[in-house]
Structure 1
Amino acid sequence: MNLMERVAVVTGAGSGIGRGLALALSRRGCHLALADINTDGLAETKAMIRSVKVTTHKLDVTDRAACLALPQAVLDSHGRIDVLVNNAGVAIGGTFEQVDEADFDWLMEVNFHAVVRLTRAFLPQLKTSDQARIVNVSSLFGLIAPPGQTAYSAAKFAVRGFSESLRRELEEAGSNVGVTVVHPGGINTSIAKNARPPRHVTNEEAAQIESEKDRFQKFLRMSPVKAGEIIAAGIEGERPRVLVGGDARIAALVERLLPVGYWNILKRSMA
């Protein structure tokens, strides 16, 4: 897929992987509609890009009306839409019993339901392009499911399943719209630091959760800029799945070989 003069919509573009991918797409001559709830972050991302047209759109992906209105806003500014990148995401610390129902539902709303909602909103316009692509960002935890990540893994596995089924539906229909699912490993973003803490835990449990967040942060080593380049190359190559980082590739292999016992192996290697 030649991205020159195409138009890509990227959610969660105010920081992290979304920003890294926006920079990578701009280097390929792709015009950008960048969306995020963080308007200051969006402004910073836009200021880094000079070579293509960039519009910014404040978006709360849990706002159904705003999601439905975004395609027309992008069309009004750019006249076409060729790529949709569903990247926006959040995290929650704590075990399943520590995370209350409201926070679990909030994470699912952002990390999964918004992906479905935006895909449904943009698909009719994507179908009018001669060549289009939906790019859904899952996670390493959409390949493996460690303890302490029940909500996050549930959402990211759902993104993976949704993407794979949608891809096959579109392929069988002979559609010009392809689907890529992305599994980033340890990317040095602020998602772990900004993970929402459980609201109903003891001081001791809260301290343990903070300690786990600090330990987990040490595994986030790849720069978002490098991750963005890998994902952009995957879009160009029309790849159905993109594994970002050696940790994601290793985890995918170990899970395939040991679909039940993989965590015992990975836990020892992490230790």
Structure 2
Amino acid sequence: MKLHGRVAVVTGAGSGIGRAVALSLARRGCRLALADIDEQGLRQTGEQVGRTGAGHSLHRLDVASREQVRALPAGVLAAHGRVDLLVNNAGVALGGTFEQVSEDDFDWLMEINFHGVVRMTRAFLPHLRAGDDARVVNISSLYGLISPPGQAAYSASKFAVRGFSNALRHELEGSRVGVTVVHPGGVSTSIARSARVPAGLDPDEARRRKALSEKLLRMPPEKAGEIIVRGIERRKARILVGTDAKIAALIERFFPVAYWKLLKKGVQP
């Protein structure tokens, strides 16, 4: 996919993988519609994108809001006139076992991580179809490949993104819109530090879990962004980001039930 001159919408662009993907696209000559609920982070990304010379617009967006998502395409088209690429990256984390996580917290996470992806795709798909070459890129996770204990909500949301992306790809076969699902492994972003903690969880246990998560987040987001954008250029249906994601995918493939017995030794605190 030739990215120069294309228009890309990137959610969760205010930090982490979203910012890194935006900058990688900008360096390739993309114009960008940057969206995030974090206005300060969004402005900072905009400043960095601006230094590359790429045209861009900033859009304050809560992907959990139906009204805001429905209104976004009009704003993007007013700023750029077209849409060629949609990167659904916005997401949140929530630690805790299924029994520790409240129904409200579980629903909060699903609204952002899964329903936000679906809403954005529904809002922009007609405009992507209008172009000559377009793509939907949905960011799943390592935990959309494997399901470790203590990640029931997060893993459910990322498996849902994976399943939605795969089915949508099959449905759009033969059209000018491709679909890519991305599974990042341990990328060094703020998602673990900002993860919501279930009410009533022992503070020491919460700190232990966050420390373990931090330990596993090693890859710089800039490297992850480049891997993702190179995969988009190659029209890859699935992008595994990091050796950990590749190993997990392979082990899960051959040991779909027993894989956790093999993997858990490597993630002990």
Indicate the TM-score class for this superposition, using the shorter chain for normalisation: over 0.9
Q: Look up the match of 2:4.
A: 4
Q: Look up the match of 1:175.
A: 175
Q: Look up the match of 2:197.
A: 197
Distance in structure 2 (CA, Å) of the matches to 1:158 and 1:67: 19
Q: Look up the match of 1:56.
A: 58
Where do 1:227-266 residues align within 5 Å? 227-266=224-263
Distance in structure 2 (CA, Å) of the matches to 1:73 and 1:117: 16
Aligned residues: 266
Q: Look up the match of 1:27.
A: 27
- TM-aligned CA deviation for residue 200 of structure 1: 3.2
Distance in structure 2 (CA, Å) of the matches to 1:96 and 1:269: 23
List per-residue Cα deviations over 1:147-186 (Å, max 9, x = no partner): 0000000000000000000000000xx2100000000000
Give the root-mean-square deviation of aligned CA atoms.
0.7
Distance in structure 2 (CA, Å) of the matches to 1:195 and 1:270: 18
Deviates more, 1:207-216 or 1:77-86: 207-216
- TM-aligned CA deviation for residue 215 of structure 1: 1.4
- TM-aligned CA deviation for residue 270 of structure 1: 2.7
Distance in structure 2 (CA, Å) of the matches to 1:109 and 1:34: 20
- TM-aligned CA deviation for residue 269 of structure 1: 2.6
Q: Which runs of 5+ in 1 are unaligned?
A: none
| Residue type of the alignment partner of 1:32 | L
Distance in structure 2 (CA, Å) of the matches to 1:11 and 1:207: 33
List per-residue Cα deviations over 1:166-218 (Å, max 9, x = no partner): 000000xx2100000000000000000100011133xxx23202211111101
Moved >4 Å (runs of 4+):
none
Q: Look up the match of 1:209.
A: 206
Give 2:71's match in structure 1, choosing from 47, 69, 72.
Answer: 69
Distance in structure 2 (CA, Å) of the matches to 1:65 and 1:123: 17
Distance in structure 1 (CA, Å) of the matches to 2:266 and 2:90: 29
- TM-aligned CA deviation for residue 94 of structure 1: 1.2
List per-residue Cα deviations over 1:122-162 (Å, max 9, x = no partner): 00000001000000000000000000000000000000000
Distance in structure 2 (CA, Å) of the matches to 1:156 and 1:94: 16
Q: Look up the match of 2:46.
A: 46
Distance in structure 1 (CA, Å) of the matches to 2:207 and 2:97: 13
- TM-aligned CA deviation for residue 268 of structure 1: 1.4
Distance in structure 2 (CA, Å) of the matches to 1:210 and 1:66: 35
Where do 1:51-200 residues align within 5 Å? 51-171=53-173, 174-200=174-200
Distance in structure 2 (CA, Å) of the matches to 1:45 and 1:120: 26
List per-residue Cα deviations over 1:46-97 (Å, max 9, x = no partner): 1112321011100011110100110110000000100000000001121111
Distance in structure 1 (CA, Å) of the matches to 2:17 and 2:115: 20
Distance in structure 2 (CA, Å) of the matches to 1:41 and 1:209: 26
List per-residue Cα deviations over 1:102-141 (Å, max 9, x = no partner): 0000000000001001100000000001000000000000
With structure 1 as the length reference, what TM-score do the two structures score? 0.97
| Residue type of the alignment partner of 1:125 | H
Contact 2:212 / 2:267 at 8 angstroms: preserved in 1? no
| Residue type of the alignment partner of 1:24 | S
Q: Secondary structure at the match of 1:249?
A: helix
Q: Secondary structure at the match of 2:172?
A: helix
- TM-aligned CA deviation for residue 258 of structure 1: 0.4
Q: Secondary structure at the match of 1:26?
A: helix
Q: Secondary structure at the match of 1:134?
A: strand
Q: Which runs of 5+ in 2 are unaligned?
A: none
| Residue type of the alignment partner of 1:81 | V
